[in-house]
Amino acid sequence: MRPGEAFCSERAPRATSAAEGRLRALIAARLDVDLGCTAVRVRSPFFGHLEVWPDVIIPELAIAVELDTVGRNADEHVGRRERADRRKDQLLREAGWQVIRLRCRPLRALGPDDLVVSGVSATAVEALIERMGETRGALLVQAYRRDTRAG
């Protein structure tokens, strides 16, 4: 398997929250894409594996979507975890993937394509799809839309 290939991995963790499940459902309702892949092959090891597990993988567009919240104890995606997130993003980009993070307030954007949102909502997913169009091309993303709304 080559770096950049999306696949189903036995190592990939299951969805960790109801919000992640809602995000997948909202994306699936708006885009006709395969959301079944659970991993992307990378060139350098990430926690001992040559694969990473984004929250949502859209192989047709080579886009990985991450949903970041502060978690129950308000300590997720900060400090050491933030450094791991940045490393994961770097490995994905090196493999030709675009990473878009939905960062729930009070978290700040980590990368230039990240969106800071109040939570998972239809509005947040529309902004995500718009950002996909900005990064991969509006016409390409529009080709996968399930509705007739302009991208």
Q: Are 103 and 117 within 8 A, CB to CB? A: yes
Q: Quick one: fold of 6-142? A: Endonuclease; Chain A (3.40.960)
Which residue(s) pair with 52 in the sheet? 40
Q: What is the pTM of this model?
A: 0.91
Cβ neighbours for 141, distance < 8 A, ≥ 6 positions apart: 31, 61, 129, 132, 133, 151
Report, as ranges of residue numbers, the positions in the chain whose pLDDT lies below 50: 150-151
122-136 and 18-30 helices, crossing angle to 10°: 60
- So what's the pLDDT on residue 148? 52
Q: Please return the burial class of 79, using the count of CB atoms within 10 Å of its CB with bins 0-12, 13-18 and 19+.
A: exposed
pLDDT, residue 151, reads: 46
